[in-house]
Amino acid sequence: MNSLSDPRQAHTFRFVRRDYTDGVAELVYAFDDGPELIERIVFPDAPALAPDRSAAFEAALDLLHWVAGVSYYKAGVPAQIRVESCALDAATAAFLDALYLHGLGDFAYHNKLDLRGRIRFSVGVPQRAQAAQPRWELRSRLQRSYRGAAPTRSLPRRTLVPIGGGKDSLVSVEILKAAGEDATAVWVGNSPLIAACAERTGLPMLNIRRELSPLLFEYNKQGAYNGHIPVTAINSAILAVAALLYGFDAIAFSNELSSSSATLEYDGQPVNHQWSKSWEFECAFHDLLKSQVAADLDYFSLLRPLSELSVAERFAHTSRYDDVFSSCNRNFRILGPKPADRWCGQCPKCHFVFLALAPFMPKPRLLGIFGRNLLDDMSLAPAFDALMEYRDHKPFECVGEGIESRAALAALVQRAEWREDAIVARFAEEIAPQLGAGELALDALLAPSGEHRIPERLVRFVDAHR
């Protein structure tokens, strides 16, 4: 039973159980009758749980168990999903179906898998394989699962703002500070870079630790599937638990407008590399929290109505984070003193953030942040073409929309200090003439637009323009 086999041969992925003791949540999964995969989430200095919040806390913990399972499920993608810990109601099952399908879209594309029709969380009684749980516990959970809306839990007016080390969450921090909110900078994992950014915010800090089951690495060696998982969904579920544990009534993420657009279409299906950052996910998770966990727990993205460019413009307002932040996906785990330690200069994120900030800050400041001029390197022409969706599709990274890159470059063409740089000059000569003037207007992209779930009291601080 304990010998590891290739998880791709497994028939069933099992949600075995989840526990919480003294600040440590244990989430347990298994493939067939294989060894238990145990993930631990460690909440530092966890207070004793307020009795009036315990039901909501249990519900949030269940949700976390189901959401975080995606990291393990994807190793084998078995045909059957079995929730043994407690029963799912229809709304939750539908939410998880959507999360696993869309959240693994990029993963499926890269592994040449078709997940449509394969992912199905069953509604109804828990599907226990062996020994049954004590009946009373089961009953209480069933009761809760069938309720329509969760009650309020008298959570204090405090906001958790997750920090990612990149520009977006730091813009949110500055908005919350301007609004005078009681906010705490929170992050999951042990990135020194994020810790440095969190410290620079000046806010109180909360660092939650997440320990993946070491067996997952062993499964990888056996040939498990690997690829992107919807990590924002997992972090959202962790923060929902944290909100109930420590007492926060809001979780303010920093996903912007373009997070909702598909990065490509594959086999007739739109694939969004960052689906768990999308408006669709935000609404679904928000509704689920309100109905299943706590009616007074707010979950929203503060930057939802803003384009990437608009976020970049806001980021440029303060130079407070210039020497600590990084949006680069390659080097983000390691902290170093030099720009090259934080910005690889080779990934689409580096290229896009450089381009998005360029219209809004003095050139020497931007070059000081990156330590080099990415727009004067002709070898990066194909990379910028991809950002502009010129001749190539959009790269699989969290970058802005093509129209934003085109507008940013068009703005730089108008600027004498940028105009002669290789990529800008090439854009002016070769690409701009093929585009209509309307496609290149920067200002239209800077105003907030579209739907959002930002609490009324904060809206004007997000709208505050320039």
Partner 1 sequence: MTTKTFESGCCSHDARECRTNKENLLSSTDASVSRAAATTSARPWIVAKFGGTSVSTRARWETIARIAAEHHARGRNVLIVVSALSGITDMLKAIVESRGDEARCREAQVGIVERHHSLHCELQLPTRNALDGWLARLDQLIADPRRAQTALAWQAEVFALGELMSSTLGAAFLGAQGLATRWLDAREHLRAQPLANQNAWAHYLSATVPAAPDAAFAQALAARGEVFITQGFIARNGSGKTVLLGRGGSDTSAGCFGALLKAEQVEIWTDVPGMFSANPRVVPEARLLSRLDYEEAQEIATTGAKVLHPRALGPLRRAGVPLVIKDTNRPHLAGTEIRAAAADAAPCVKAISVRKGVTLVSMETVGMWQQVGFLADVFAEFKRHGLSVDLIGSAETNVTVSLDPSENLVNSDVLSALAADLARICRVKVIAPCAAITLVGRGMRALLHRLSSVLAEFGTLDVHMISQSSSNLNLTFVVDEALVDDLIPRLHALLIRSDALRVEDGAVFGPSWRQLAEDGAAPLRETWWRRERETLLRLAADASPRYVYSLDQVRVQARALMALPSPSGDRRESGFSVVDRWHYALKANPHPAILRALHEEGFAFECVSFAETEAVRATLPALPAEQILFTPNFAPQGEYAAALDIGVRVTLDALHPLMHWGELFAGKDIHLRVDLGVGRGHHDKVKTGGAGSKFGVALDQVDEFRALARQCGARIVGLHAHLGSGILDASHWRSVYAQLASLAERFSRIESLDIGGGLGVPSRPDETPLDLAALGEALAEVKHAYPQFALWMEPGRYLVADAGVLLARVTQTKRKGAINYVGIDAGMNSLIRPALYGAWHEIVNLSRLDEPLAAMVQVVGPICETGDVLGANRRLPECREGDVLLIAQTGAYGAVMASHYNLREPAAEVVLVSPSPRRGEGWGEGKS
* Helix or strand (DSSP H, E) at 270: strand 269-271
> Which one of residues 157, 177, 209, 330 is an interface residue with partner 1 (CB under 8 A)?
330
Q: Which is nearer to partner 1, 67 or 358 (CB)?
A: 358
Q: What is the CA angle 144-117-398, rounded to 5?
A: 85
Establish if 35 lies at the interface with partner 1 (CB under 8 A). no
The H or E element containing residue 175 is: helix 167-178
Q: Counting contacts by CB under 8 A, is residue 409 touching partner 1?
A: no
Q: Are strands 24-31 and 12-21 parallel, antiparallel or unpaired?
A: antiparallel
**Amino acid letter for position 250:** A
- Shortest distance (Å) from residue 328 CB to partner 1: 9
Q: Which stretch binds partner 1 (CB under 8 A): 168-176, 298-306, 357-365, 448-456?
A: 357-365
What are the b/e assignments for 217-246, b being 16+ CB within 10 Å?
eebeeeebbeebbbbbbbbbbbbbbbbbbb
Q: Is 362 one of the binding residues for partner 1 (CB under 8 A)?
A: yes
Within its chain, how far is the Cα of 307 from the centroid? 16
Tell me whether residue 270 or residue 371 sits nearer to partner 1 (CB atom).
371
The rounded distance, in Å, linking the Cα atoms of 219 and 6 is 7
Q: Which of 26, 32, 280, 376 binds partner 1 (CB under 8 A)?
A: 376
339 near partner 1 (CB under 8 A): yes
Helix (H/G/I), strand (E/B), else coil: 209: strand
| Residue whose CB is less far from partner 1, 221 or 391 | 221
* Out of 8, 120, 177, 363, the residue judged to bind partner 1 by CB under 8 A: 363
Question: Is residue 79 a contact residue for partner 1 (CB under 8 A)?
Answer: no
> Applying CB under 8 A, does 421 fall inside the site for partner 1?
yes
Bridge partner list, 159: 183, 250
Residues in the chain: 466
* Contact yes or no for 306/448 (Cβ under 8 A): yes
Binding residue for partner 1, selected from 54, 154, 220, 318, defined by CB under 8 A: 220
Interacting stretch for partner 1, rule CB under 8 A, among 162-170, 171-179, 223-231, 403-411?
223-231
Q: Which residues lie near partner 1 (CB under 8 A)?
A: 190-192, 217, 220-221, 223-227, 319, 329-331, 333-334, 336, 338-341, 344, 346, 362-365, 367-368, 371-373, 376, 415-421
